[in-house]
Amino acid sequence: MFEGTKRKLKERILLFPESNSPTFDDPGKFNSEEVKLDWPKEIKRPYVGLTQDCNAVPYWTKYALFLEKNGFSYSIFEHHRSDWIEQASKFDTIIWSPKDGPFEMDDIKRKVYILEKKLGKICFPDYETLLLCDDKIFSTYLLRINNLPIADTFISNDYKESHRMINRFSYPLVSKGSFGAGSKEVTLVTKPSDAKRIVRKVFSIYGKRTHLKYMRQKNSIYFQRFLKGDSLDTRVNVIGNMIFGYYRKPRGNDFRASGSGIVIKEDLPIEAIKIALETYSKIGKAMLGVDMLKDENGKYWIIEISPFIYVRTPEQLKVNGVAGAYSLQDDGTLLFEEKSFWPQQLALKVFFEQNYLSSVEEWKAKFLEPGLSNSFLLKC
């Protein structure tokens, strides 16, 4: 029997514990640039605790390689164990690799809060960034108060209000759960009776079922304007002043591109890059992925942001078939560089720069704001 099928049978039918053993890979075998950090001699390097994740393509292996290449001492931090506070006491900085799934995020958030706010440790990602992970409601509020172009969204925890709105919305709409990836909690709402059904389920005593058997969508409605542009998701990833990205296309008649597996690596539109950079500058720290869709008039709207970028290979953006990345220059030029990086390693570099060599604000004022104050030119 295949390993995967055997595991599913054990975990789902025989109720064996779900595996959370770390996954391994060799990031060095891909064709990627080494990410180097200039560390002044007079500043002491922190001692790093590294958590291991069990994502199919792990993050922690890329962090480990970065730490080794840049002369940081580290050891593995086994945060699931009961003695996590005692273990953490020897570290200055702790690196986490969030995995999708609300139970894992809850655990990490609690621990990062205690470590960062109460015990004075520096965490990557920090608590504020973690609040954005896998939480569309929180992200939408933050995008809104920063006047960023999030697609028109109705979020309510009030049954009477949600019910009253059913006949006032224009259809179709897109309904989303606050957590979830790969479109698993995203559905099309074509008419008022669909919306009514969702509202009734969500506000029922059990809440609405989700793809996770242990979670329900309870007492929170998330309806978003359906964007009928070219049905192509534009993803722009920003890390420091580096910009990558790609497009995703839905499969068959589905309107949802996330999770379809169809990725198109081509040059990115300047308007989308601009929105992503503004979003990163206002609410991002080390890295931010910004997903956008076009409306009928060709205007880009944000549909989701992710402070953690899931990547399989260091090859992200391609311009005329050549893999590389743009870097934002002080004069507003986007310079295409034929270099591929592991985004996790670039993010770690930015994290150390923003936490040990300057503040986030100083970092942005130096590397981002001069470029952002210009209107862009695209240069290959």
Chain residues binding ligand ADP by CB under 6 A are 151, 174, 176, 180-184, 186, 224-227, 233, 250, 255-258, 291, 293, 303-304
Q: How far is the CB of 304 from Mg ion (least distance, A)?
A: 4
Size of the site for Mg ion (CB under 5 A): 3
Q: Which does 226 bind (CB under 5 to 8 A by kind): ligand ADP, Mg ion, none?
A: ligand ADP
DSSP 150: B
- Asked if 225 and 149 count as a contact pair (C-beta separation under 8 A), the reply is no
Beta strands in 177-299 (DSSP E): 186-189, 208-209, 216-217, 221-225, 233-239, 242-249, 262-264, 287-294
Burial class (CB in 10 A: 0-12, 13-18, 19+), 184: middle
Binder to Mg ion among 53, 126, 134, 304 (CB under 5 A)? 304
Tokens of 315: 């090859």
Helix (H) or strand (E) holding 349: helix 343-352
> What would you report as the CA-atom Rg of the chain, rounded to the nearest whole angstrom?
21
Nearest to 198 by CA among 228, 169, 176, 224: 176
- Nearest to ligand ADP of 186, 350 (CB atom): 186
Q: Which does 256 bind (CB under 5 to 8 A by kind): Mg ion, ligand ADP, none?
A: ligand ADP
Q: In Å, how far are 44, 283, 291, 309 from 146, measured between CA atoms?
A: 36, 8, 17, 22
**Partners of 61 in the beta sheet?**
none
Alpha-carbon distance of 320 to 380, in angstroms, equals: 10
- Nearest to Mg ion of 65, 105 (CB atom): 105
Helix (H) or strand (E) holding 100: none
Taking CB under 5 A as the criterion, which residues in 225-264 touch Mg ion?
258
Q: In Å, how far are 27, 119, 366 from 260, measured between CA atoms?
A: 25, 42, 38
Q: How far is the CB of 380 from Mg ion (least distance, A)?
A: 28
Q: How far is the CB of 224 from ligand ADP (least distance, A)?
A: 4
Q: Which does 257 bind (CB under 5 to 8 A by kind): Mg ion, ligand ADP, none?
A: ligand ADP
- By CB under 5 A, residue 185 contacts Mg ion: no
Alpha-carbon distance of 44 to 15, in angstroms, equals: 48
Pick the stretch among 132-140, 158-166, 267-275, 284-292 that binds Mg ion (CB under 5 A): 284-292
Residue nearest to Mg ion (CB): 258
Q: Which does 227 bind (CB under 5 to 8 A by kind): Mg ion, ligand ADP, none?
A: ligand ADP
For CA atoms 255, 258, 262, 263, the dihedral sign is positive
Q: How far is the CB of 2 from ligand ADP (least distance, A)?
A: 26
- Nearest to ligand ADP of 141, 159 (CB atom): 141
- Nearest to ligand ADP of 111, 208 (CB atom): 208
- Nearest to Mg ion of 233, 353 (CB atom): 233
- Nearest to Mg ion of 260, 329 (CB atom): 260
Nearest to 99 by CA among 21, 207, 13, 7: 21
Q: How far is the CB of 265 from ligand ADP (least distance, A)?
A: 16
- Nearest to ligand ADP of 137, 357 (CB atom): 137
- Nearest to ligand ADP of 21, 297 (CB atom): 297
Q: How far is the CB of 76 from Mg ion (least distance, A)?
A: 31
Binding mask 62-101 for Mg ion (x = CB under 5 A): ----------------------------------------
Q: How far is the CB of 169 from ligand ADP (least distance, A)?
A: 13
Helix-strand-coil split of the chain, %, nearest 5: 30, 20, 45
Q: How far is the CB of 174 from Mg ion (least distance, A)?
A: 11
Q: What does DSSP say about strands 216-217 and 221-225: parallel, antiparallel, or unpaired?
A: unpaired
Biggest alpha carbon–alpha carbon distance for the chain: 66
- Nearest to ligand ADP of 278, 291 (CB atom): 291
Q: How far is the CB of 16 from Mg ion (least distance, A)?
A: 31
Sites of contact with Mg ion (CB under 5 A)? 258, 291, 304
